[in-house]
Amino acid sequence: MKYVILMGAPGAGKGTQARLLEAALHLPQVATGDLFRHNLKNQNRLGQLAQSYMDRGELVPDDVTVDMVRERLSQPDCATGAILDGFPRTLAQAVAFDSLLAELNGRICVVPYIHVDVDVLVARLLQRAAIEGRADDNEETIQKRMVVYQQQTTPLLDYYREKGALVQINGDQPVAQVQQDLLHAVAMGSQ
């Protein structure tokens, strides 16, 4: 089984690119946001556990997130692998995912990092907020999200760079060109 871990800051185009990769590679997109919504909505064991932390105003622990990913990757449509979008988000999740890969007899094919300069990301997110009517997505909030993302992501980038899996993709180009670069990175990582 091969796994593609798609990384990039909010506004870099991960969701769009993950959907395009899903169609091109015939691998399901596994987005942690979708997993949380699914588990919370269905109030299954993991959803109830996550909700208990959220109700107390606490972050959901990494092991709960990893269990959601484990459960999703055990589904038949993930038999040949998946495109991970938003996971791992922390170094602890990356280490736990390595253990999960050993259980699944899988491997990371490539970790494309869609890089876009912060000023471009902020402009994109402000435009998206205006289009979608998100009053809470103002420049100050977006800048804070970027700082948190950088703090969490830098160790992950270093971790996957050391493993030789990280490939930086220029995300400040047309969607079709980013997709072409991603498909090239996946093809190279599959060899």
Q: Is the pLDDT of residue 59 over 90?
A: no
Instruction: Express each pLDDT in 8-46 by its tens digit.
Output: 998 999 999 999 999 999 999 999 889 989 999 999 999
Is 89 considered catalytic here? yes
Predicted confidence (pLDDT) per residue in 86-132, tens digit: 899 889 999 999 999 999 999 999 999 999 999 999 999 999 888 88
| pLDDT band at residue 57 under the 50/70/90 scheme | confident
Is 145 annotated in the active site?
yes
* 71: pLDDT strictly greater than 80: yes
Range of the domain at 35: 2-189
19 is catalytic: no
Per annotation, catalytic residue among 2, 70, 145, 161: 145
For the chain, what is the domain count? 1
Please answer whether residues 122 and 137 qualify as being in contact, where contact means their C-beta atoms are separated by less than 8 angstroms: no
Q: Catalytic site residue 107?
A: no
For residue 163, indicate whether it is catalytic.
Answer: no
Catalytic residue among 70, 89, 107, 161: 89
Residue 79 has pLDDT above 90, yes or no: yes
Torsion region of 90: left, alpha or beta (phi above 0 gives left; psi -120 to 50 gives alpha): beta
Looking at this protein, which amino acid is placed at residue 153?
T
Q: What is the pLDDT of residue 132?
A: 84
Q: Do 85 and 18 form a contact (C-beta atoms < 8 A)?
A: yes
Q: What is the CATH number of the domain that holds 115?
A: 3.40.50.300
CA–CA gap between residue 36 and residue 185 (Å, rounded): 29
